[in-house]
Structure 1
Amino acid sequence: MLIFTKTQVINSAIPVNLKLYLTAEERSRSRYRFITQDNQEIFLRLPRGTILQDGDILTDENEENFIQIIAKPEPVFTVIADEILLLRAAYHLGNRHIPVEINTGYLRLSPDAVLREMILHLGLTIKEEIVTFYPELGAYGNHSHT
């Protein structure tokens, strides 16, 4: 099992040995065991609170092995409406502390039957998709390379 403990600044000269495809939730786990697509066991032991981003490169303590994080497409609701309805939906989702990706023309969140009903009741349109999901880190979220 390979144990990755540090993040590296993205550098195209770094020889990446492996790629690890993770969903948005998985990219927020600082201590977790994963299996790569080629059946290699990987353990992340990163500083608590580390949020991994697409393209991040991790290394082990000896800086002998490098793995690149790839944002994995996942099922999401993409919510579409005019600006005021999107703002209203963002307000209600924020009150529920739901991870949301915010863009000028849409909101994106993980599928949930109760939230689906609330969003439809507010008059917004939901498109079910399988895409990469990049929720906001929040006011206290961080992404630091150590």
Structure 2
Amino acid sequence: MRRVIGHDHFGHYHGTPFDRIVLAHDERHLRRKVLTLQQGEQILVDLPEPVLFGHGDVLVLEDGSLAEIIAAEEALYEVLPRSRQHLTELAWHLGNRHLPAQLEETRILILKDHVIKAMLEGLGARVSEIMAPFQPLRGAYHSGHGHDDHSHGSHHHHD
């Protein structure tokens, strides 16, 4: 089984991935795990620190080949505010509950939760069910086993 010994972020790698793997948001925080790529090959992710992967990031195998990570379509709520100010207020209410949320210019995406849906509707938001990739922001309190998610050892990236 081939091993993954590194990674690179979307837009920073050179080369063409030989295969891809589709992972949901809660499957993209990896350190050591066997994954099955779309074409069936199993690979061992074996990184020194946990890494949070985003859509379009790549796993670098020991032979230098690349496997691309694709964010899976997930059942989400799309939260539409009345205004930018309203979006800020809705984001505050969600953050106050430590809920994973993908904040965008005109909407917020969250995991389906009927209690939260009712709260948001009570606050005047329009909430609808959609299928989409989910890339929640990581909070200041979320880290992998006490490690900073931004320390990747010898890995370099340009944020």
* Superposed pair shares fold, TM > 0.5: yes
Distance in 1 (CA, whole Å) between partners of 2:65 and 2:55 is: 18
Question: Which of structure 1's runs of 4+ aligned residues deviate more than 6 A?
Answer: none
Does the 8 Å CA contact 2:19/2:39 hold for their aligned counterparts? no
Q: Taking structure 2 as the reference length, what is the TM-score of the superposition?
A: 0.75
User: Alpha-carbon deviation of 1:3?
Assistant: 2.7
Q: CA deviation digits over 1:64-118, x for unaligned, max 9? A: 4421111222111110012233222211111121111111210111112221122
Q: Aligned ranges for residues 1-146 of structure 1 at < 5 Å?
A: 1-8=1-8, 10-12=12-14, 14-60=15-61, 62-82=62-82, 83-139=84-140, 142=150, 146=155
Q: Could you say if the C-alpha distance between residues 119 and 47 of structure 1 is closer, same or farther in structure 2, counting changes exceeding 3 Å?
A: farther
Deviates more, 1:63-72 or 1:34-43: 34-43
Distance in 1 (CA, whole Å) between partners of 2:76 and 2:70 is: 17
Q: Taking structure 1 as the reference length, what is the TM-score of the superposition?
A: 0.81
Instruction: From the two aligned structures, give the one with the greater strand fraction.
Output: 2
**Any stretches of 5+ residues in structure 1 without a counterpart?**
none
User: Secondary structure of the residue that 2:7 maps to in structure 1?
Assistant: strand
Q: Could you say if the C-alpha distance between residues 109 and 32 of structure 1 is closer, same or farther in structure 2, counting changes exceeding 3 Å?
A: farther
Does the 8 Å CA contact 1:4/1:44 hold for their aligned counterparts? yes
RMSD (Å) for aligned C-alpha atoms:
2.4
User: Alpha-carbon deviation of 1:53?
Assistant: 1.9
**Any stretches of 5+ residues in structure 2 without a counterpart?**
141-147
- Size of the alignment, in residue pairs? 144
Q: Could you say if the C-alpha distance between residues 2 and 98 of structure 1 is closer, same or farther in structure 2, counting changes exceeding 3 Å?
A: farther
